[in-house]
């Protein structure tokens, strides 16, 4: 079945980037001149997604507004002859169907995904974390979709991690299949380093089958008192219905102050209108 929908959980509190995220959702903090979330929506659309489902919360109305029309602004841009800006705004509104559902309390990623159950319905879907950007030059979703189409189960994006961060991720035990695909046999959330079944961590992109919803409904709070998606995926893995892709492309975590800064610099250095000025500024600053 073609994957048409992507769920973007954006209801977390973003405590690592306070105070910036107190009123502005962390997913709306800019990377150069575009909110983080817009890069993620563009990544989904480039992979063939037609409907974006935001799992949002009461303090995050600006997310729905950003992807909706803004007639006064469009009228002003038209009147001032700012055709390029106007075309960009309209392209964003039209590139997908946007829907949203509220997560009334941030009870964990698994709970956030469960909130999208009615909007997803009985079809496979993509999940993309709202603070992880994957560079468009090394996309991840096409690989996940390809493995889903070949094997039919849920598929995780798995990244080789250094030992010091292993206890902060969902870590998978895997068996190699053909053409780079992996069979996930076991997955554990935030294991102690000595208990980790491998160095492969689930990293911000998933294809999930609708069978995940009944499993999430019976998943009790796990690590940190949160309903963990990893715990529901573990049930699929045990039933032989979970696969993985070893992803080594460029991914940028915007969920910390340093991540926000380095992601902005990385994107700015790829922009012909910004790179020369930024390089010059860095050269002068480093010489001081
Ligand atoms: P994070 O754990 O990185 O986000 O979740 P957070 O909880 O907002 O951040 P910190 O740790 O307090 O700084 C990854 C994504 O999942 C969403 C977040 O909004 C983020 O985009 N999320 C997380 C939810 O939608 N609901 C939750 O209950 C938890």
Q: Where are the domains of the chain?
A: 5-255
| Dist CA 221 CA 242 (whole Å) | 21
For CA atoms 123, 236, 231, 162, the dihedral sign is negative
| Dist CA 267 CA 270 (whole Å) | 5
Q: Nearest 5°: phi and psi at 257? A: -55, -45
Residue 108 CA to ligand 1 center (angstroms) comes to 7
Mean pLDDT of 195-219: 97
What tokens were used for 258?
């340093």
pLDDT of 1 over the 90 cut: no
Mean pLDDT of 229-246: 97
Mean pLDDT of 142-147: 97
Placement of tokens 């560079």 in the chain? 135
pLDDT at 271: 96
Ligand 1 site, residue 189, Cβ cutoff 6 A: no
pLDDT in tens, 112-139: 999 999 999 999 999 999 999 999 999 9
pLDDT at 180: 84
pTM: 0.96
Ligand 1 site, residue 12, Cβ cutoff 6 A: yes
CB of 158 within 8 A of CB of 186? no
pLDDT at 39: 97
pLDDT of 223 over the 90 cut: no
Ligand 1 site, residue 14, Cβ cutoff 6 A: yes
pLDDT at 207: 98
pLDDT at 288: 83
pLDDT of 224 over the 90 cut: no
pLDDT at 176: 94
Instruction: Compute the C-alpha angle 161/166/170, nearest 5°.
Output: 100
Side-chain-side CA neighbours of 164 within 13 Å: the count stands at 0
| Dist CA 228 CA 234 (whole Å) | 10
What tokens were used for 263?
């992601």
**Substitution site in 6, 10, 12 for ligand 1 pocket (most atoms within 8 Å of beta carbon):** 12
Which of 108, 147, 145, 123 has its CA nearest to residue 227? 108
| Dist CA 213 CA 237 (whole Å) | 15
What's the mean per-residue pLDDT of the chain? Answer: 96
Ligand 1 site, residue 24, Cβ cutoff 6 A: no
Ligand 1 site, residue 234, Cβ cutoff 6 A: no
Residue 130 CA to ligand 1 center (angstroms) comes to 8
Ligand 1 atom nearest 17 alpha carbon = 13
**CATH homologous superfamily for the domain 5-255:** Spore Coat Polysaccharide Biosynthesis Protein SpsA; Chain A (3.90.550.10)
Placement of tokens 């993620």 in the chain? 40
Ligand 1 site, residue 255, Cβ cutoff 6 A: yes
| DSSP states of 102-144 | E-SS---HHHHHHHTHHHH-SS-EEEE-TTEEE-TTS-SHHHH
Ligand 1 site, residue 170, Cβ cutoff 6 A: no
Ligand 1 atom nearest 105 alpha carbon = 28
| Dist CA 223 CA 230 (whole Å) | 10
pLDDT of 179 over the 90 cut: no
């Amino acid at each position: 079945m073609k994957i048409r929908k992507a769920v973007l959980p954006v209801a977390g509190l973003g405590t690592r980037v306070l105070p910036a995220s107190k009123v502005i959702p962390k997913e709306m903090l800019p990377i150069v001149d575009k909110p983080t979330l817009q890069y993620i929506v563009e990544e989904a659309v480039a992979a063939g997604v037609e409907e974006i489902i935001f799992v949002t919360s009461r303090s995050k109305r600006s997310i729905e507004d950003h992807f909706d029309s803004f007639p006064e602004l469009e009228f002003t841009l038209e009147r001032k002859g700012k055709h390029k800006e106007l075309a960009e705004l309209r392209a964003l509104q039209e590139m997908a169907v946007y829907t949203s559902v509220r997560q009334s309390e941030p009870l964990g990623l698994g709970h956030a995904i469960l909130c999208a159950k009615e909007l997803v319905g009985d079809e496979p879907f993509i999940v993309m974390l709202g603070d992880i950007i994957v560079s468009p030059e090394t996309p991840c979703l096409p690989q996940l979709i390809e493995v889903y189409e070949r094997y039919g189960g849920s598929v995780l994006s798995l990244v080789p991690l250094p030992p010091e961060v292993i206890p902060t991720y969902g870590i998978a035990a895997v068996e190699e299949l053909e053409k780079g695909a992996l069979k996930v046999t076991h997955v554990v959330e935030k294991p102690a380093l000595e208990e980790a079944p491998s160095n492969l961590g689930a990293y911000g992109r998933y294809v999930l089958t609708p069978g995940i919803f009944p499993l999430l409904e019976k998943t009790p709070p796990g690590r940190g008192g949160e309903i963990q998606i990893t715990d529901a995926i573990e049930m699929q893995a045990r039933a032989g219905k979970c696969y993985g892709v070893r992803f080594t492309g460029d991914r940028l975590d915007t969920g910390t102050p340093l991540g926000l800064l380095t992601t902005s610099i990385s994107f700015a250095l790829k922009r012909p209108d910004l790179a020369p000025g930024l390089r010059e500024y860095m050269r002068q600053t480093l010489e001081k």
